Amino acid sequence: MRQFFHRGDKFQPVSVDDERLNQPQLDGLWQKCPNCDETLYSREVEHNLNVCPKCDYHFRLGARERITLLLDEGSFDEWDTDVRTADPLEFIDPSGSYATKVEKTRSKTGESESLITGIGTIEGRPIAVAVADFGFMGASMGSVFGEKLTRAVEQSAQTGVPLLSVNASGGARMHEGLFSLMQMAKTVAAFARLGEARVPHISLLVDPCYGGVTASYATVADIIMAEPGALIGFAGPRVIEQITKQKLPDGFQTAEFFLDHGMIDLIVDRATLRRRLADLLDHYARARQVDRGESIPWIPNANGSGRELNGNGAERQNGVAQ
Amino acid sequence: MRRSRREKAAEPQVEATVEVEERDPNAPLTAWDRVKLARNPDRPHTLAYIDQLMTGFVELHGDRRFGDDKAVVGGLARFDGSTVVVIGHQKGSDTRENLRYNFGMARPEGYRKAERLMKHAEKFGIPVITFIDTPGAEPGVGSEERGQGTAIAESLLTMASLKTPVISMVIGEGGSGGALAIGMSDRILMLENAVYAVASPEACAAILWKDAAKAPEAAETMRITAADLYTFGIVDEIVSEPVPAHEAPQATISAAGEALGRQFEALMRLVDQPSGIDRLMEQRYEKYRRIGVWEVDVAGAAVSNQQQSAVSD
């Protein structure tokens, strides 16, 4: 089974500039599955939530596609789109300046940075989301990523709305030096406060998730999920191979490997993700209701009609989309 | 902050020569020179600091989960008249020692030991001092199997809300997440020739320059020296090295001890006040909350958050 998800050399991560990290484009009429090599009709893949109908390989998704699949249609309200990348080190490498690189990436992707934050609903239940966009410089964590995430977490701590982080990353953004490394501390500090406020953080690890993100907020969540076959780790496999001169075991650093070693709670495929999240949100909401006597307006009652008694015994319609 | 150029040591020269000693002694050190100094095997490591600055050190071993990682040392000790929990990465001075300490590269057990000792400190109201000196967390199959990322993340989470003062000092190499894992503290001190970076210059050069041999160039660009990080407001104090630490270990350690003592006293004064721990927690949160540089559009012009806060101050 492990071999099943092991994609061999083709998909060895991870550096943000690695050409191989560019996802096969989904806009052609036909495409090849990187896992089973099957030629697939693109429409069919798309209709199947970008999962290979033959082998269940989960294609990588951009943050926007992810949000579209995850949240109720039209429910997403984006936050902090005006926070822009700066170039504190005036970083230049042979491919040019960091500032230019960011500008190019922006116009190519249409995104302002590698993390999209905001609020929406899943089957009517409000949820804050922070979704990393691997297409934007390998979803590396720099100052903007850290700041937007911290703001979202602080917002959730205040409002009590649970937060879902969707984490793919090549690690910290090297072009911002130690500022990037310190985003690990900054975001974890915010999540520590979210924990003190007893607001749930659900982390979804998707392909590929490495470095500073794996070693910070993404792995200290209340619930840690992963997509099937996602590669997850601290150090990249090539680095480990080079340094240890060891052959890596089959299925090394896959979601299944992470699950086997007790590091994550569950693996969830794309088709059941929304349902699972809705279940979890209901569990926490009920727990909170019992615990604090709070009314949570969006829990459906026993017959699932989306009505419930609030704290005063009055009935209230809550518009749960079923 | 005193930053002096390297002078010829008054002490007898250590026989191990590094390339930097063949340079013009008056030329300012480059970032790469400092990388080499920070990695010099004769540079004093954590146990030397504990030995010279502290008394009654009782080393405590193990993570109570899997094993005892020798790349991280820790225990109870007496510093400036107070009991402290001291934790640090440990490197060796020769190959034999380095094999024992795994070159200062911690495995998950090392971070879990550190985290356990920090919680121990919190329980008894003991302040924590950490010494940072690592090329990075160990990359390895076993480390991945046992959750290297998770271990670092959990240590950070513990440090974020540890209700006791924490001071860190970068004494050599501050290698990425493996360094930060024991360095999320109230005060970050750094020796003049220490470096602290998001990735090793070699790794950065390999990825962005496509050539690991360009590490000296990458080191310069990455802004990893104590002076850079002090300017960025990430490091709180620089301990000067009039002579590189490996040429004057005792003098360097005493200077480090003096700076540590001063910062330690200031933090203890803060926590001894009514609701001092709450203020400490607030200050620690703010310390990390404000780190980062970005821009927002203000009236059609990009203004950085740092310029903004300068105006609002």
Give the residue-averaged pLDDT of B272-295: 97
CA gap A53, A235 in Å, rounded = 31
Domain of residue B73 covers 19-272
Token digits for A231? 């590669």
CA gap A44, A63 in Å, rounded = 20
Residue B10 lies in a domain: no
Residue B7 lies in a domain: no
What pLDDT is recorded for position B22?
A: 59
CA gap B310, B293 in Å, rounded = 13
Smallest Cα–Cα separation from A256: which of A200, A205, A189, A211? A205
- Cβ–Cβ < 8 Å for B72, B123: no
List B189's β-bridge partners, or say none: B169, B237
Domain count, chain B: 1
Residue B8 lies in a domain: no
Residue B160 lies in a domain: yes
**Angle value at C-alpha A262, between A259 and A265, nearest 5 degrees:** 65
- Cβ–Cβ < 8 Å for B278, B198: no
List A96's β-bridge partners, or say none: A93
- Cβ–Cβ < 8 Å for B174, B195: yes
Token digits for A126? 């409000």
Residue A135, pLDDT above cutoff 70: yes
Question: CB-CB: which of B154, B198, B229 is closest to A172?
Answer: B198
Q: Is A79 on the interface with B (CB under 8 A)?
A: no
Residue A118 pLDDT level (bands cut at 50, 70, 90): very high
Residue B55 lies in a domain: yes
- Cβ–Cβ < 8 Å for A178, A141: no
Q: Mean pLDDT across chain B, nearest whole number?
A: 92
**For the purposes of burial, counting CB atoms within 10 Å of the CB of B182, is it exposed (0-12), middle (13-18) or buried (19 or more)?**
buried
DSSP letter for B54, please: -
Residue B283 lies in a domain: no
d(CA B156, nearest CA chain A) in Å:
7
3-state DSSP assignment of residue A199: coil
Give the residue-averaged pLDDT of B260-281: 97
How many inter-chain contacts (A to B, CB under 8 Å) are there? 202
Predicted confidence (pLDDT) per residue in A188-244, tens digit: 999 999 999 999 999 999 999 999 999 999 999 999 999 999 999 999 999 999 888
What pLDDT is recorded for position A320?
A: 39
Predicted confidence (pLDDT) per residue in A149-168, tens digit: 999 999 999 999 999 999 99
Residue B179, pLDDT above cutoff 50: yes
Q: In which element (H, E) is residue A151 found?
A: helix A143-159
Of all residues in chain A, the one with the smallest CA distance to B289 is: A186
Select the residue from A89, A137, A167, A182 to test the B interface by mutation, using most B Cβ atoms within 10 A. A182
Task: Scan for tokens 């920090």, then name that residue.
Answer: B118
DSSP letter for B208, please: I
ipTM of the complex: 0.91
Question: CB-CB: which of A177, A192, A214 is closest to B161?
Answer: A192
What chain A holds in terms of domains, given with CATH numbers, is 61-317 (3.90.226.10)
Question: CB-CB: which of B141, B229, B232 is closest to A249?
Answer: B141
The pLDDT > 70 percentage for chain A reads 81
Residue B238 belongs to domain with CATH number: 3.90.226.10
Report CB contact under 8 Å: A188, B223. no
Peptide bond into A16 cis (omega under 30): no
Q: How far is CA B74 from CA B56, B129, B143, in A?
A: 13, 10, 20
Residue B308 lies in a domain: no
Residue B186 lies in a domain: yes
- For helices B276-289 and B249-272, angle between their N-to-C axes, nearest 10 degrees: 120
